[in-house]
Structure 1
Amino acid sequence: MSASRPASQPGRATIATVAEAAGVSIATVSRVMTGSSAVKPELAERVHEAATRLAYRPSRAARGLALGSMRNIGVILPDLTNAYFFDVVNEMHRGAAQCGYRMLVADSSGDPAEELDTAMDLLSQVDGLVLLSSRIPTAGLKQLARNPAPTVLINRVELGIDLPMIAVDNFTATMQLCSRLAQLGHRRAVYIGGSELAWQNRERWRAVQSSSAFGIEATQVTADGTVEGAYAVVQQALAHDPTVLICFNDLSAIGVLSALRDAGVRVPADVSVTGFDDIVLARHVVPRLTTVTTPRAELGRRGWELMQAMLDGGERPDSPPALEARVVVRDSTGPAR
């Protein structure tokens, strides 16, 4: 009695059973499944008919090896819980899907060593790698730049790194925000910082320091860019008697608003608060948050265009100019007390 698999058991067929049912070799089935034009049409039709009848689904990994492409793009970001990253990744996913790629997303928890280890692991499973708001030291970035797989930096600009990169002009936008605050009479500011490893944090703090040109004296209190992290440092920030708290991002600002409310401090009557990024919640907290709108969807689209150019042509494209962000004034800022 034959021990072969009955054709009535869908989903368990192998390339060998398809070859047997179609009366062809395994190599022929492989060529048909990878879209090779070297197979006679009548044989290809027999293979497709057998594969359909047996509910055969070829291994994506095996198909990728045969084609020399996994059709996967790796994306590493520092915090999956941060709503800011969704629009960026979603737009990249849209472009990747249209080109027949899927995205493998990994969270590095903002740890540079973990991010580099994850990147090196992913390189064996993907055709290209996107580093979003990367914390990897420059030496690690140079190591990735020597790898043949394309790598793109989003939300970070580093001189001397042979990688295509795209970012938002954080410095100019923060300077414009500080100019608005100076016009409201603010002279004492505390910057609630994000991770010291984040390029965006360094750019925003550099701009806040430069706002001395507007007469603003600023002090930095370090947090981590999260709601809870910012909440925890508000009392430390208030010890500097600021008239405005300039927060690294909107999540930080939401934590600050919560802490000020618990402490009985009125916003903006007693102290003004600003954020950065303009996530959805920024328009729905009370008071509504003055912030900076960043073009997240465009950032994702431009990032995918850089990746696609390397996948198609194999050469590193020139990095485009930094994208413009704009200040949005809402209810959380007012005249200095």
Structure 2
Amino acid sequence: MARAAGVSPATVSRVLNGHGTVDPSLAKRVRATTAKLGYVPNAIARGLALGTSHAVGVVVPDLANPFFPTMLKGIGLAAGTAGFRIVVAESNERIAEEVRLADELARLTDGLILCSPRMPTAALRSLVDRGIPVVCTNRVVRAPELGIVAADWITGARLLASHLADLGHRKVAFLAGPASSWSNQQRRLALSRFEGLKVEVIPAGSASADGYAALPSALETGATAIVAFNDLVALGVLGRLGELGIRVPDDISVAGFDDIPSAGFLRPPLTTLRLPLVDLGVQAWHVLQRRLDKQPPGPPVRLLPELVVRESTAPPAK
């Protein structure tokens, strides 16, 4: 580029970086040569030189779960408005991989948003202690410099428990999600402590196949309602119930969490907890931007889920 324009590399650098100290005629020559050659500056190299990448890393546990792409949309929209790109990595629910990805992205980007992180608290605090701007969604950890944006799953799960109790259910099977999931812990805690409901906890997971596999154990409890860790697990439950000829909600009620886009189109449509996921992503970006601007993250941002009652829940069979 410099040779083609007949100037020094330093002059090319000053022109492309917008410095006004270059002679106008030289700047014009550099820009004309740039256009002629179709030259596109290397954003990563430029970022390294300037000490900023104008990119943020986002780590998610499972991109197959519609919960996370919807949240990513909010992050991407807000970050793009601020002139930042997002770099997304998936850990596939593997804690060691999540830690590795967070460490790698921390070296390549200006900050991190960890979506529902599963890693140990010590690993999260280690990132913060290194001076990395970090925001967690759906995970609450006490660390002054760590940004938090999370759903109030305790209140949300109580809304669902109250709905089932009002219908007349007294025994519920909860198909639990990953043990390392903070959301799972919150949902399980709220359901188990709800007065008037006996809750049997069945290990399951976060995917539809997990709900399908765990259903026989749930039925053995004699529960009149099944609450799945998320809507994907509930989808697997509904599929197997259909195979067994067990009617929903006539024979048993089913509910989930998250209100993924397909939840309202299942047969029957699924009762679930809705979270404003795009807004959650936007809020996560705003908290991270405060950290990028060297400001405190502020108090944890809490979003209240909304109970969406559909046809999959009804009074228990007599």
What corresponds to 1:59 in structure 2? 42
What corresponds to 2:307 in structure 1? 327
CA distance in 2, matches of 1:250, 1:68: 42
The size of the alignment, in residue pairs, is: 317
SS in 1 for 2:285: helix
Would you say 1:92 and 2:75 are equivalent positions? yes
Which of 288, 294, 298 is matched with 1:314 structurally? Answer: 294
Alignment of 1:179-190 (within 5 A): 179-190=162-173
- Aligned residues of 1:185 and 1:336 also touching (Cα < 8 A): yes
What corresponds to 2:66 in structure 1? 83
SS in 2 for 1:124: helix
Alignment of 1:229-240 (within 5 A): 229-240=210-221
Compare 226-235 and 42-51 and name the one that shifted more: 42-51
Shift of 1:161: 6.0
- Aligned residues of 1:166 and 1:319 also touching (Cα < 8 A): no
Alignment of 1:42-191 (within 5 A): 42-160=25-143, 162-191=145-174
Amino acid of the structure 1 residue aligned with 2:295: E
What corresponds to 2:266 in structure 1? 285
What corresponds to 1:12 in structure 2? none
CA distance in 2, matches of 1:120, 1:39: 39
SS in 1 for 2:108: coil
Using a 3 Å threshold, how does the CA distance of structure 1 residues 242 and 85 change in structure 2: closer, same or farther? same
- For structure 1, the 5+ residue unaligned runs are 1-17
SS in 1 for 2:200: strand
CA distance in 2, matches of 1:40, 1:150: 39
SS in 1 for 2:135: strand
- For structure 2, the 5+ residue unaligned runs are none
What corresponds to 1:267 in structure 2? 248
SS in 2 for 1:237: helix
Shift of 1:222: 1.0
- Aligned residues of 2:148 and 2:301 also touching (Cα < 8 A): no
What corresponds to 1:305 in structure 2? 286
Which of 1 and 2 has greater Rg? 1
CA distance in 2, matches of 1:181, 1:82: 26
Q: Which has the higher contact order (CA 8 A, sep 6+)?
A: 2
CA distance in 2, matches of 1:258, 1:129: 37
Shift of 1:36: 2.3
Compare 95-104 and 230-239 and name the one that shifted more: 95-104
CA distance in 2, matches of 1:164, 1:142: 11
Percent identity between matched residues is 40
What corresponds to 1:251 in structure 2? 232
CA distance in 2, matches of 1:70, 1:261: 51
Compare 59-68 and 258-267 and name the one that shifted more: 59-68
- Aligned residues of 1:75 and 1:103 also touching (Cα < 8 A): yes
Using a 3 Å threshold, how does the CA distance of structure 1 residues 161 and 248 change in structure 2: closer, same or farther? farther
Amino acid of the structure 1 residue aligned with 2:315: P
- Aligned residues of 1:141 and 1:161 also touching (Cα < 8 A): no
SS in 1 for 2:202: strand
Alignment of 1:202-213 (within 5 A): 202-211=185-194, 213=195
- Structure 1 residues 164-201: Cα deviation after superposition (integer angstroms, max 9, x where no partner): 11001111011011001101000010001111110000
SS in 2 for 1:246: strand
Compare 319-328 and 298-307 and name the one that shifted more: 319-328
- Aligned residues of 2:206 and 2:232 also touching (Cα < 8 A): yes
Amino acid of the structure 2 residue aligned with 1:50: T
CA distance in 2, matches of 1:187, 1:261: 23
SS in 1 for 2:113: strand
CA distance in 1, matches of 2:238, 2:144: 39
Shift of 1:113: 1.3
Shift of 1:162: 3.4
CA distance in 1, matches of 2:61, 2:186: 18
Q: TM-score, normalised by structure 1?
A: 0.91
Which of 201, 215, 220 is matched with 1:220 structurally? Answer: 201
What corresponds to 1:3 in structure 2? none
SS in 1 for 2:74: helix
CA distance in 1, matches of 2:5, 2:82: 31
CA distance in 2, matches of 1:56, 1:23: 16
